[in-house]
Every structure is written in structure tokens, then in C-alpha cells.
């Protein structure tokens, strides 16, 4: 099977030329000589330097998701890195750490500098790169998922080897998707099965080693397995207003993933899909829905129309049970159409100076009109 291409220390131009191929690849040696991440490549060294840092640890991903669906969100447990290391040494049940977007307190010296690639996009991003730290123990695996922010990602492995499976967004409908998650429990299958599954869907597999940095394009599905205590940092970058609109105002599912996978390439988006975007925007800005569920259905319909015009012949329906789960996550668990959405709109208004649905010309709004 295809393993991703490995490239040593690409120049910024080489990096963006590779990105244009829209496939994952692995880089080595991305840091300049004085970056602290060059000096931390073992759990031992990480613990020696940051043992005092306290982080909130959660139950493993599938347990966490099961608890959330059962209506009792998992509780995090604050623990120092040193205490976590001791727990692992004693063979206790693994817990995971995933930071919210941003540098955790105490790890600033390690994480406050992002790779030069992230800030050199040919298309400048209105958002600065975001950082997310992932640390976990042997036996843990993420669910098969896509991230949903419509961004490029570089995941730099700090210590421990991690197994990544990557599947292109176009295969989404075949993954029993609900929301941004898949029911496919790849981590419970044999190595031969995993390999075959990923290969048939045009994907890749990689054992990412400390010091290596994996690039993957927007909304690629991925599953990550931990076979030893491992820690890596994801740099999330290059979002434009189109994908920000999609991930905050519409509904996060495989269709939206595939749409984002195209919209990140801005010239393509604005030349080819502006009418569809304007139609979707018009539905999203409506305030006359009686119930959040009515908004959900209307946005889903608009999303389907947009998806059909971007992917003629694409699958727009999944299993009714998956669609039920997806709706439940949107309406109840994440509160996507309730408080969550309102808070995000407020946040965008603060950051961009305008609501996210007001940024491109609307046929009816006060902005410049689009003639047909």
C-alpha cells in the first residue's frame, strides 16, 4: 500500500507545491536548529522538562463518545505529566489528553512557535494557525473521524511512534459516517484487514516516528493508534472565510467535509461555487425557524443541493440510523444549533468584525449584489 512520500526539510515553495497535489506526505527536519522541539523526542525528556505541568485527562475516545451519547459527558481528571507517567508505568488504564485549540499553560516554550509553512500560504488566512496537543497511552485509538475545520494540518510527532490511517474525503459516504465520525472500528480489526480497507478506499497508512511531521489535506478521514506512550502536536492552518462559514454555520458531516476539501482552494471556490454558497448562506441566515430541528433540516437540504452540484452523482443519503445519530449530535450533544452556534457567531463578530454569514455578497442583503 501507499505509504506517504517522505521529504526532508522542504523549502516553503516545495511544501506548497506538494500541498497542491492534495495527498498526505511526511516531512523530516522541519525545525530550525534552535527550536525546543528538536530537543524533546522521548517521554523521559518530556517528563523531565514538563513533569509539573497539569493537564486535564479524559477517558479514551470510544468510551468518551459512548458516555456522551448516553447523555453523561465524561469527566476530565486533572493530573500532572509526572503523575500521568507514573500511572502508565504502573500499567493503569490509559487516559488521553487532547488540548482545546491553543497552547496549554506551562507548555508555551515548547509550542509557541509554529512551522514556517503554516504562515506562508499562497492565500493568506484570516485566522492565525491553531495548535492542538495530543498525548495518549498504549491501547488508545482515536475513532475514525475528520476534523471539520476545513484546514490544512501538520501533525508533528514529539515522542513515541503512532500509527496513522488516512482516507480521502471522497470515500466518506462509504465509512458509515455520522457527523464527522465513522462507525468503522478499524482499531479492532487485524493488521491485514486495516491495510486492505484503507487501500481499497485510496488511503494511506504510516507509522509516524518522533521528529517526523505528517501533512494531511483538509477533511481527510483519519484514525490514530497508540502502541506506546506518544505525544504529538497538530498545527491547523490556512482556513479561508468559505470553510470557516461551512464549519460554523452549516452541519458537520461527510458532505460538508467534501465541500470543504474543495473550498479551501479559494480561487476554485469563488470562481465555480459562489451561486451555491450564496444559496446556502441565505438558508443559514434565516432567523424564522420555529425549532432548531427545522433549521437543521433546512440547512441539510441546502447542503445536499450544494454537494450535488459539486459532486454530481455523489451519495446524499446514509442509513436512517446514522442520520438519526447525526441529528442527535447536532441538536443535543454539541448543541450546534443552540447556544454553541450563538457563541460562535458572537466570536466571529468579535474576530472579523462581522457575522460569518455576512462576508460575501448576498443577493438580498446590503452587500454588493450579484447579477445573474
| Residues of the shown chain interacting with Fe ion in the complex, contacts defined by CB under 5 A | 147
| Residue 218 within binding range of ligand AKG, rule CB under 6 A | no
Angle of helix 292-310 relative to helix 274-284, nearest 10 degrees?
A: 180
DSSP state string for 224-237: EEESSSEEEEEEEE
Which member of 64, 147, 212, 249 binds ligand AKG (CB under 6 A)? 147
- Cβ closest to ligand AKG, residue 153 vs residue 247: 153
Q: Measured from the CB of residue 21, what is the shortest distance to ligand AKG in angstroms?
A: 20
Query: Grid coordinates standing for 333?
Result: 450533544
Separation of alpha carbons 355 and 245, rounded Å: 10
Nearer to ligand AKG, 88 or 298 (CB): 88
- Shortest CB 356 distance to Fe ion, Å: 22
Give the one entry of Fe ion, ligand AKG, none that residue 327 binds, where binding means its C-beta sits below a cut-off of 5 to 8 angstroms depending on kind.
none
Q: Find out whether 269 and 263 touch, Cβ atoms under 8 Å.
A: yes
Nearer residue to ligand AKG within complex by CB, 114 or 310: 114
**Contact pick of 179, 210, 232, 238 for ligand AKG (by CB under 6 A):** 232
Sole binder of ligand AKG in the list 30, 53, 184, 224 (CB under 6 A): 224
Nearer to Fe ion, 147 or 249 (CB): 147
Q: How far is CA 364 from CA 237, 286, 295, in A?
A: 32, 12, 20
Q: Tell me if 13 sits within 8 A of 33, measured CB to CB.
A: no
Beta bridge partners of 177: 182
How would you list the strands of the sheet with 152-159, edge to edge? Answer: 5-8, 25-28, 212-216, 152-159, 230-237, 130-136, 97-98
Selected binder of ligand AKG within 205, 234, 318, 362 (CB under 6 A): 234
Report which of 49, 36, 39, 54 is spatially closest to residue 113, judged by C-alpha positions: 36
Say which entry of ligand AKG, Fe ion, none residue 136 contacts (CB below 5 to 8 A, set by partner kind). ligand AKG
Nearest to 358 by CA among 303, 292, 281: 281
Per-residue cell: 356: 460569518
**What is the closest distance, in whole angstroms, from the C-beta atom of residue 237 to ligand AKG in the complex?**
12
Q: Which stretch binds ligand AKG (CB under 6 A): 134-142, 190-198, 323-331, 355-363?
A: 134-142
For residue 215, count other CB atoms closer than 10 A to its CB. Answer: 24
**136 binds ligand AKG per the rule CB under 6 A:** yes
> Which partner in Fe ion, ligand AKG, none is near 249 (CB below 5 to 8 A by kind)?
none
Q: Which residues in this chain contact ligand AKG in the complex, by CB under 6 A?
A: 134, 136, 142, 147, 153, 155, 222, 224, 232, 234
Amino acid at each position: 500500500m501507499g505509504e506517504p512520500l517522505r521529504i526532508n526539510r522542504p523549502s516553503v515553495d516545495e511544501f506548497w507545491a506538494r500541498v497542491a497535489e492534495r495527498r498526505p506526505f511526511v516531512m523530516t527536519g522541519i525545525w530550525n536548529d534552535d527550536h525546543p522541539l528538536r530537543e524533546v523526542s522521548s517521554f523521559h525528556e518530556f517528563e523531565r522538562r514538563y513533569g509539573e505541568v497539569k493537564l486535564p485527562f479524559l477517558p479514551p475516545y470510544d468510551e468518551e463518545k459512548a458516555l456522551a451519547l448516553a447523555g453523561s459527558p465524561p469527566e476530565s481528571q486533572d493530573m500532572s505529566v509526572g503523575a500521568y507517567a507514573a500511572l502508565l508505568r504502573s500499567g493503569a488504564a490509559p487516559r488521553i489528553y487532547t488540548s482545546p485549540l491553543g497552547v496549554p499553560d506551562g507548555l508555551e516554550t515548547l509550542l509557541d512557535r509554529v512551522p514556517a509553512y503554516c504562515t506562508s500560504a499562497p492565500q493568506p488566512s484570516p485566522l492565525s494557525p491553531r495548535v492542538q496537543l495530543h498525548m495518549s497511552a498504549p491501547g488508545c485509538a482515536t475513532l475514525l473521524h475528520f476534523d471539520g475545520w476545513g484546514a490544512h494540518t501538520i501533525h508533528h510527532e514529539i515522542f513515541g511512534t503512532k500509527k496513522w490511517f488516512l482516507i480521502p474525503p471522497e470515500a466518506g459516504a462509504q465509512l458509515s459516517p455520522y457527523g464527522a465520525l465513522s462507525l468503522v472500528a478499524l482499531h479492532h480489526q487485524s493488521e491485514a484487514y486495516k491495510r486492505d480497507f484503507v487501500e481499497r478506499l485510496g488511503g494511506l497508512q504510516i507509522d509516524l516516528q518522533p521528529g517526523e511531521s505528517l501533512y494531511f489535506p483538509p477533511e481527510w478521514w483519519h484514525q490514530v493508534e497508540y502502541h506506546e506512550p506518544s505525544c504529538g502536536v497538530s498545527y491547523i492552518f490556512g482556513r479561508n472565510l468559505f470553510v470557516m462559514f461551512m464549519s460554523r454555520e452549516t452541519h458537520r458531516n461527510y458532505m460538508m467535509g467534501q465541500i470543504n476539501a474543495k473550498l479551501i482552494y479559494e480561487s476554485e471556490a469563488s470562481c465555480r461555487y459562489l451561486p451555491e454558497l450564496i444559496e446556502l448562506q441565505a438558508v443559514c441566515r434565516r432567523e424564522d425557524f420555529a425549532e432548531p430541528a427545522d433549521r437543521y433540516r433546512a440547512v441539510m437540504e441546502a447542503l445536499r443541493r450544494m454537494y450535488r452540484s459539486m459532486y454530481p452523482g455523489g451519495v446524499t443519503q446514509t442509513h436512517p440510523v446514522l442520520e438519526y445519530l447525526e441529528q442527535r449530535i447536532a441538536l443535543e450533544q454539541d448543541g450546534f444549533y443552540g447556544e454553541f452556534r450563538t457563541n460562535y457567531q458572537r466570536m466571529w463578530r468579535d474576530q472579523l468584525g462581522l457575522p460569518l454569514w455576512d462576508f460575501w455578497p448576498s443577493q438580498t442583503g446590503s452587500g454588493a449584489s450579484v447579477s445573474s
